């Protein structure tokens, strides 16, 4: 029964209106980088797919601490910035 419910929710999910690439690093770009490394667009898609209300973040920096990939393995991230300047332009920023 739960798979039917999640299938309906997946169909009703919010789709981004547009997309652009990040130009310079920011806290938001850092977190998007982490979600995209784990295979998600952003926090919205992650919450829809994983059915969670909260994403675990570092209290000191507010950066995402750990994410569960679609294959259920976990990604763990540092408190410090991980998205290097040369990676920033690869980060996709979605507009809803």
Give the pLDDT confidence of 42-94 residue by residue, as tens digits: 999 999 999 999 999 999 999 999 999 999 999 999 999 999 999 999 999 99
pLDDT value for 1: 43
pLDDT value for 66: 97
pLDDT classification of 13: cutoffs 50, 70, 90: low
Q: Quote the CA–CA distance of 58 and 7 in Å, as a whole number.
A: 31
| pTM reported for the whole predicted model | 0.85
Q: Quote the CA–CA distance of 75 and 73 in Å, as a whole number.
A: 7
Instruction: Give the residue among 59, 47, 56, 53 at the shortest CA–CA distance from 10.
Output: 47
């Amino acid at each position: 029964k739960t798979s039917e419910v999640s299938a309906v929710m997946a169909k009703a999910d919010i789709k981004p209106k547009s997309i652009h690439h990040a130009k310079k690093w920011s806290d938001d770009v850092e977190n998007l980088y982490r979600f995209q490394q784990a295979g998600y667009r952003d926090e919205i898609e992650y919450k829809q797919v994983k059915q969670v209300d909260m994403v675990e973040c570092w209290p000191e920096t507010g950066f995402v601490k750990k994410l569960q990939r679609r294959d259920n393995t976990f990604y763990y991230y540092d408190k410090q910035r991980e998205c290097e300047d040369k990676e920033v332009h690869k980060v996709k920023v979605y507009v809803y």
